[in-house]
């Protein structure tokens, strides 16, 4: 919603907004853009003079004081996804990225490749690409890159948001069960992806991994658009392949249709980012960027804020901020870091922030996902619906319910650890301002 506000401001509209809890980096972006923000929600959240209210889908339903005030007025309103589809994307070649993991990073890669190739795309991304320093941009380009989320649109429109976007190029990174607060099971999510595929034109393109079982089940329901597959397996028949991959995923070769195109050598790590790169190269190729040019662009890709963002970089101490919200994301990120740093000490600080994790859906997967870390400090927020402590006795992990106690434990660890120490914060919430607090503590 913050990114939509930025785009609407760039269209020339006067924008104000309301929210319950805003934190960096989005709060800083809005402030720099001169967008006035009011919190928390109240009947006065709706300005007296307003042409349109755009409603998000977090904490915004019947009973919310701002929603009730809006419904009692005669002011027009729509969802954020509907606004995008109707007023921003209707005349664009939309390149969309969907899937459980990697949407933000892949969309950022695609936007940067198109920028590097001189196409100056518009974009809306759920994070802030370091190459752009903002999450959304309008442009005169025919191309618009968007992170396409399967979460529902609003309290009055339960369709997935991506059904409003009408993409011509669509990346389907992967598919696992998530968003347990709105989807009963994986099949319910697959149905939304099927509807998405039904909306992609015949002159479009679907880009997806070769061996994702859940996505292949969706394709089997019907597909009317050409497909391009990618893979990193040696015996793969996929059109786009990564090979000769370094242990940490920071260097690998790329072939397209059995023709070597170039080598990616960057600061990103993990098998998941190898796949993200393959998907981005394929998407850029569909809009006309040669793979060799895309590879050159990716070698200058700087990553995304809160995606393994390095906040402290000292010889003996590294602090990272990561948005991991699912056991698979936690596991691949930690394994990539382990391959990069070898025998150095890795300590993960994890808050189960997503609705699915808070409900305990993934259970013991959380412990398995953290095997690459030497220690794990879990922060249990008050809205967790299961006893995280029951998972920990076998693991030797530590549990905290107070952020101050967690910070003290980290400070003690940093003081006592003789080995090179890598601390990685993993949460898709503000983590109670943990990044800022640890920066202040550890920099001393």
CATH code (residue 367): 3.90.190.20
Q: Give the whole-angstrom CA distance, residue 51 versus residue 188.
A: 36
| Domain hosting residue 251, numbered range | 89-298
Q: Would 284 be classed as within a structural domain?
A: yes
pLDDT in tens, the chain (444 residues): 888 999 999 999 999 999 987 777 788 889 999 998 888 999 999 998 999 999 998 778 999 999 999 999 989 999 999 999 999 999 999 999 999 888 999 999 999 999 999 999 999 998 889 899 788 999 999 999 999 998 889 999 989 999 999 999 999 998 987 766 778 889 999 999 999 999 999 999 999 999 999 999 999 999 999 999 999 988 899 999 999 999 888 999 999 999 999 999 998 888 889 999 999 999 999 999 999 999 999 999 998 877 788 888 888 899 988 887 678 888 888 988 898 899 999 999 988 766 656 665 556 677 788 889 998 988 877 666 666 666 665 666 888 878 888 888 888 888 888 889 999 988 877 777 788 888 888 877
Does one domain contain both 251 and 330?
A: no
Report the candidate in 228, 224, 236, 238 with the shortest Cα–Cα distance to residue 196.
224
Indicate the pTM of the whole model: 0.80
Q: Which two tokens stand for residue 118?
A: 């001189």
Q: Would 304 be classed as within a structural domain?
A: no
DSSP secondary structure, 200-241, as one string: S-TTSEEEEETT-HHHHHHHHT---S-EEEEE--TT---SEE
Any idea how long the chain is?
444
Does one domain contain both 313 and 280?
A: no
Q: Give the whole-angstrom CA distance, residue 291 versus residue 285.
A: 6
Does one domain contain both 8 and 156?
A: no
Look up the CATH number of the domain holding residue 10. Answer: 3.40.50.720
Q: Would 359 be classed as within a structural domain?
A: yes
Q: Give the whole-angstrom CA distance, residue 319 versus residue 322.
A: 10
In the DSSP assignment, the letter for residue 325 is -
Q: Would 303 be classed as within a structural domain?
A: no
Q: Indicate the number of domains in the chain.
A: 3
Does one domain contain both 365 and 401?
A: yes
Q: Would 84 be classed as within a structural domain?
A: no
CA distance readout (Å), 12 to 6, 8, 86: 10, 7, 16
Q: Give the whole-angstrom CA distance, residue 120 versus residue 105.
A: 18
Distance from first CA to last CA of the chain, Å, rounded? 36
- The residues that bridge with 375 in the sheet, in sequence order, are 347
Q: Give the whole-angstrom CA distance, residue 358 versus residue 382.
A: 10
């Amino acid at each position: 919603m913050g990114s939509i506000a930025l785009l609407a401001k760039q269209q020339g509209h006067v924008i104000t907004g309301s929210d319950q809890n805003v934190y960096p980096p989005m709060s800083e972006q809005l402030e720099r853009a001169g967008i006035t923000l009011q919190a928390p929600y109240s009947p006065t959240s709706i300005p007296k003079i307003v042409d349109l209210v755009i409603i998000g889908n977090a904490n915004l339903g019947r009973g919310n004081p701002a929603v009730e005030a809006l419904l009692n007025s005669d002011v027009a309103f729509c969802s954020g996804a509907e606004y995008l589809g109707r007023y921003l994307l209707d005349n664009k070649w939309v390149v969309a990225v969907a899937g459980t993991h990697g949407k933000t990073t892949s969309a950022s890669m695609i936007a940067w490749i198109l920028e590097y190739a001189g196409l100056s795309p518009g974009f809306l991304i759920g994070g802030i690409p370091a190459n752009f320093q903002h999450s959304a941009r309008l442009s005169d380009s025919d191309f618009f890159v968007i992170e396409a989320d399967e979460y529902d649109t609003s309290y009055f429109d339960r369709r997935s948001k991506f059904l409003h976007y009408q993409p011509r190029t669509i990346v389907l990174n992967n598919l696992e069960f998530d968003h347990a607060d709105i989807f009963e099971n994986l099949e319910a999510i697959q149905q939304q992806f099927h509807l998405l595929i039904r909306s992609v034109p015949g002159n479009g393109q679907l880009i997806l991994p070769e061996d994702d079982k859940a996505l292949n089940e969706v394709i089997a329901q019907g597909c009317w658009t050409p497909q391009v597959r990618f893979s990193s397996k040696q015996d793969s028949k996929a059109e786009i392949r990564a090979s000769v991959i370094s242990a940490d995923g920071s260097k690998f070769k790329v072939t397209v249709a059995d023709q070597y195109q170039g080598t990616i050598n960057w600061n990103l790590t993990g098998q998941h980012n190898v796949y993200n790169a393959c998907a981005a190269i394929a998407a850029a190729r569909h809009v006309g960027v040669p793979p060799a040019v895309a590879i050159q662009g990716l070698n200058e890709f700087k990553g995304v804020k809160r995606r393994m963002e390095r906040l402290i970089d000292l010889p003996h101490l590294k602090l990272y901020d990561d948005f991991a919200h699912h056991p698979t994301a936690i596991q691949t990120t930690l394994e990539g870091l382990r391959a990069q740093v070898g025998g150095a000490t890795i300590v993960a600080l994890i808050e189960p922030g997503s609705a699915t994790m808070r409900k305990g859906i993934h259970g013991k997967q959380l412990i398995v996902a953290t095997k690459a870390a030497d220690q794990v400090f879990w922060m249990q927020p008050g809205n967790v619906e299961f006893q995280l402590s029951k998972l920990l006795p076998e693991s030797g992990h530590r549990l905290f319910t107070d952020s101050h106690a967690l910070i003290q434990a980290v400070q003690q660890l940093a003081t006592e650890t003789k080995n090179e120490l890598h601390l990685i914060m993993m949460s898709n919430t503000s983590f109670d301002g943990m990044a800022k607090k640890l920066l202040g503590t550890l920099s001393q």
